[in-house]
Structure formats: structure tokens, C-alpha cells
Amino acid sequence: MDFILAGFRKAIELLLHGDAETYSAIFATVRVSSYSMTVSLLAGVPLGFVLGYFRFPGRKQVRIVVDTLLSLPTVFIGLVVYAFLSQRGPLGAWGLLFTLPGIAIGQTILALPVVMALSASAVENMDRQLRITLISLGVNRRQLLFSSLWEVRHGVLAAALTAYGRVMTEVGISMMVGGNIKWHTRTMTTAIALETNKGLFAMGIALGLVLLAIAFAVNLSVSFLRKRV
Amino acid sequence: MTVKDAVYQINDVLHRYAVEPVLRVNSLAIRQAAIVGLIGPNGSGKSTLLRLLGFIEKPRRGEILFKGRPAGPFSKAVRFRVTLLSQEPYLMRRTVFKNIAYGLELRGSRDNLRSRVAEALSWVGLPDEVFADRQWSELSGGEAQRVALAARLVLKPEVLLLDEPTASVDAVSVERIKAAALKARKEWGTTLLIASHDWQWLYEVCDEVLQLFNGQLVGPGRMNIVLGPWQARPDGYWQKVLSGGQEIVTTAPPAADAVAVVDSDRIAVADAIDSSKAGKNILKGTISRLVLEKGSRSTVTTVLVGAMPFAVRVPPRQIESLNLYPGREIDIYFSPNSVKWIHPGDKKTS
């Protein structure tokens, strides 16, 4: 028990004194998750809206595929992205293996189905009367789409939060595609795994606390936003 | 009525959601600034007709002309002129103010938004200072309905379509909604189409009441609908026995489950009808309601025969001479030959 308490004390120390290695992992995590979330949201929300709003041939089949991708194991994504980005792979020339953008590609594959599926569900559950109301009030087709999307903003926000949670906490992709390179591609989760294996709990606990703090801050902001809009 | 005089002209419209048609209207014209009521049982096509007239949906067949020109969903000709308040209106996830201002903003009409929203709220009896900043989720059912109506009235529409506007709201809201709807017609000459089960209200305020059954218009005039099944009689006529044991006698129906339609104008009312002279279909009933009809000044008298209500249009003089009042027992009579038929399958009157 003492070593855990000592680990907590040391963790606070590392954070308060701005330990460079700890902060390097934090910044790497924030950077890479920002990349992946930006792409996932930009692509996933419109695709999810289309999937939930429109009726087109093959829609159910697409939905099944997207729902299946929700449970993609991160190590499998890591494996596939590694294979594509490695020198022998089709995208090897891009030189993205063991880089943060490389990890971001894997994380985007992880987050995109989450954003799509949950946004589509939010749109599907939209009240049928919304469309009637909006047309009755005089929208054109473009306004109908944007106003409908705005009405399901809380559902989309929940989708983004869920995806962000998966991206922030995954280890497999970051470890396999990023290689856990110190000062370079070491993220919070890979650092925690490594330090724990070494029996050094302080940095792991410190990063764990930061992860919790980020999750708390994000949820707080979302809760604030929900009340405002 | 020529197309020129009508705000709506419906030509040969058929609409369906699955295979079976849910609405079929061969021809219908609605005059500008008229108040038109729509009555009919649930599933008779009232809401579908209003959605078509509101250009929310496009009919599968036929055309709807708005002021003589074909129009459809998102048409520029109708987008800012026609508005529908549906049966369960949707309030957007925002404040009351933003809900009411939304339509004005779509029209680029942003001057004096605050005061115009306040005025619209006052029309439906909701104080601006109490309600404007409330969230949609902080309203009761009746308040939400009134806010939704205010969001339409603030647009000063040329046509206002109301689908069961007073269903499932409290008595105060009912009165406010009724008054606000009529205000639109009085102040801006808005054409009003109102679907409601409150036919007493419709007959009081409407210039014309259309009756729908099984997706088609029956009438013109107030029709009595009698559902089958019908049984053959030895004398060649057919009959249906009402609760209480009295019989409605008709000519042969197109099918045993056909629906009979009896025009309220074809039913006579009298103290005691001589059965030897009148023959069949003398039914004893009790007057349950008298409603003055706005246009004709006749009184629509509801006579309960067993559990079946019959509407009979009675001229004012006869009301006085027969001393008709609710609770009075009276005879009604109609000829078996005056019955028209709707076959549930083909949805055509014969």
C-alpha cells in the first residue's frame, strides 16, 4: 500500500514541477487526439446524418457495417495501420510509421464509426414532427438539414464525447503504430503501460490523474455547453 | 368555383404511404379567406389532407394549385405563405422566444423581434415576461401548443392549417387557441383550415365544413356515417339493428360490410311520424345537442338513436314550432333510397 501512496505523492510532484517527460506524453496525447477527433467529427457527423436521415438502397447494410466497426479491437486497427504504413506497405512511402500523424490515422479509424453510428442514432430518433414543423415555418432544403442537425446537437455531442473517450484511452494503436518512442510518440496510455511494467508507479499515476482531469474538464465543458445552447 | 377565385384547387389527388390509398380527392376548391372545417373519425385522412395542403408532402398523383399555380414542398410560391400547426407540434430545443422568432428570421424579418414575439405571445394568452425566456422543456402541453400557434401567427400567414389544435389541452388553452385562430382570419384575412373532432366549434365558426371518411370527402353537407355489417331482409331491403333494437333499413348495399352515408338534409324530424305513411326508417331518439350553423343559420340537431348519433339539419322555424331542446324525445325519418354507399375496399361512393 505504501508504494501506491508514495506513487501518488511523487505523481503530484511530477505534475507540479513540470516534469518534462510527463508533459511530453501529455502534449503528444493531446496533439494526436486533436488530429483524430477533428477528422472524425468533420467526416463522421455528416456521414452519420446521411445514414440516419435519408433512406437509400443499402442503408441497412451500411448501418450493420458501421455498428460492427464500433467494436473494432485497437490492436487490430494498430496491426492494419502498421501494415499499411510500414516500408513494405502500400503507404510506406508516406513515412508515417512511428509518428503522431500515423497514430492519428489509427485513432481516426477507431473514432469514426463511433461518431457515425451514434450521430445516425441521434438523427434516427429525431421527432418526426420536427421536419413538418421546419417546413411549416418556411425552411428551404439546406436550412432543413442544418436546423435538423442543430436539433440533435446533444446527441452529436454525446457521440463526440464517446469517441474522445475511446481515443484518449486506447493503447494498442499508439503502441503499435507509434512505437512508444520517448519524447516523440510516447502518449499518456503507452507511458502508463511502460512505467507500470518497470514497477515505477509515480509517472503512471501522474498521467492517470491527468487523463481523469481531462475527462472531467471535457464533461464539465459539455455540460456547460448543453445548458447554454 | 373557378380556379381564379380559389386559394387552393385540388385536382384528382391521390396519396398513399404504402399500397393502400389514404386519401383520394377528385376535386376541391377552397376560397380565399374562408374558414373551412374538416371532420371525420381518426384515420379518415384529415391530417394527410392538411399535410398536402401545407405542402409538407407531395401527392402521389394529381395536383394542388395554390392561387392557380402548381406548388409543392419548398416552392417559393408557398414557403412563406402557408403554415401548418400539426396535432403534436414540435418545439425546437431552444427558448420560447427563439422558437417564435425562428420563422421571422427565416424570412429575414429581424426588426423589432422582441416586441413582435411579445405580441404573438399575448395573442395566445401567454405573458411575454414570464414565457419568452423559458426553455421548450419548461412548458406544459397546453402552453407548448399555444407557443407553437404563436410561432405561426407571428408570420401573419395567408393560409393557416390547424390539425386538431384543441386536442389534449386544458380548457383555458382551448379558448385561447380558438380565439387566436379566428383573430388571424379577422385581422389579416388568413384562410383557415381546421381539422377537429369538436364539430360544434367547427359548425359555429366555419363557412364550410368538409367531412372525410376512409380517405375521401363525403358530402357536401353534414353526413351521417353508418358502418356495416348489413343483413338481408325477406322484403328485399337490408338492415342494421342498432343498440336498443331499432332498425335502419336500406336498399341493397354493394357489400355486406359497406358503409352507409345519410345526408343530414335528407332526414326529417317530427313529433310523431305516421309509420303507415312514411314506411321504413322511423327512428325514435333523444335530442342531445343543438348547434347553430354559421352559414345557413340552420340548426344541426343531434338525435341519439340508441347509442348512434344522427345529425339532422333543421330550419329555425321548425326548431320553434317543434319546440326542440336537448333531452326532448323525437322521431326522425329518412327514406331507404336516400342512403349512399361507401365500399370499404374501393373507397368510392355509389
Q: What confidence score (pLDDT) does residue A84 get?
A: 96
Q: How many CB atoms lie within 10 A of CB B7?
A: 21
B111 or A4: which leads in pLDDT: B111
- Per cent of chain B over pLDDT 70 is 94
Burial class (CB in 10 A: 0-12, 13-18, 19+), B329: exposed
B2 or A221: which leads in pLDDT: A221
Q: Does B136 touch chain A (CB under 8 A)?
A: no
Amino acid at B295: G
Instruction: Provide the residue range defining the domain that includes A126.
Output: 2-228
Task: Average the pLDDT over B170-176 and give the result.
Answer: 86
Across the interface, do A133 and B92 touch by the CB < 8 Å criterion? Answer: yes
Closest partner CB to A138 (pick from B88, B107, B148): B107
Residues in A closer than 8 angstroms to B103, CB to CB, are 137-138
Q: How many domains does the structure of chain A reveal?
A: 1
Mean pLDDT for all residues in chain A: 92
The rounded distance, in Å, linking the Cα atoms of B132 and B96 is: 5
Residues in A closer than 8 angstroms to B73, CB to CB, are 135
Q: Chain A to chain B, count of Cβ pairs less than 8 Å apart?
A: 56
Q: Which domains does chain B have, with CATH numbers?
A: 3-93+148-217 (3.40.50.300), 222-342 (2.40.50.100)
Residues B216 and B15 sit within 8 Å (Cβ to Cβ): no
Mean pLDDT for all residues in chain B: 89
Site from B51, B80, B92 to mutate, A interface, most A CB atoms within 10 angstroms: B92
Distance (Å) from the alpha carbon of B158 to chain A's nearest alpha carbon: 13
Provide the pLDDT confidence category of residue B277 given band limits of 50, 70 and 90: low
Burial class (CB in 10 A: 0-12, 13-18, 19+), A179: middle
Look up the ipTM and state it.
0.83
Sign, CA dihedral A99-A102-A104-A107, equals: negative
Q: What confidence score (pLDDT) does residue B174 get?
A: 87
Smallest CA–CA distance from A130 into chain B, residue: B90
pLDDT above 70 (res A112): yes
> A6-20, B54-68, B126-140, B270-284: which has the minimum mean pLDDT?
B270-284
Nearest to B184 by CA among B17, B334, B7, B35: B35
Burial class (CB in 10 A: 0-12, 13-18, 19+), A144: middle
Distance (Å) from the alpha carbon of A128 to chain B's nearest alpha carbon: 9
The pTM for the full model equals 0.80
Provide the pLDDT confidence category of residue B276 given band limits of 50, 70 and 90: low
- Per cent of chain A over pLDDT 90 is 71
Q: Does A61 touch chain B (CB under 8 A)?
A: no
Q: How many CB atoms lie within 10 A of CB A168?
A: 21
Q: What confidence score (pLDDT) does residue A192 get?
A: 92
Residues B298 and B313 sit within 8 Å (Cβ to Cβ): yes
Task: Average the pLDDT over B105-120 and give the result.
Answer: 94
Residues A131 and A199 sit within 8 Å (Cβ to Cβ): no
Q: What confidence score (pLDDT) does residue A194 get?
A: 92
Q: Which of residues 120-159 of A touch B (CB under 8 A)?
A: 127, 129-133, 135-141, 143, 147, 151, 153-154
The rounded distance, in Å, linking the Cα atoms of A136 and A132 is: 6
pLDDT above 60 (res B3): no
| CATH number of the domain residue A172 falls in | 1.10.3720.10
pLDDT above 80 (res B302): yes
Q: What confidence score (pLDDT) does residue A8 get?
A: 80
Closest partner CB to A129 (pick from B89, B152, B155): B89
Provide the pLDDT confidence category of residue B349 given band limits of 50, 70 and 90: very low
Q: What confidence score (pLDDT) does residue B5 get?
A: 72
Digit-coded pLDDT (tens) for B196-243: 988 788 888 888 889 998 898 887 778 898 888 999 999 889 999 988
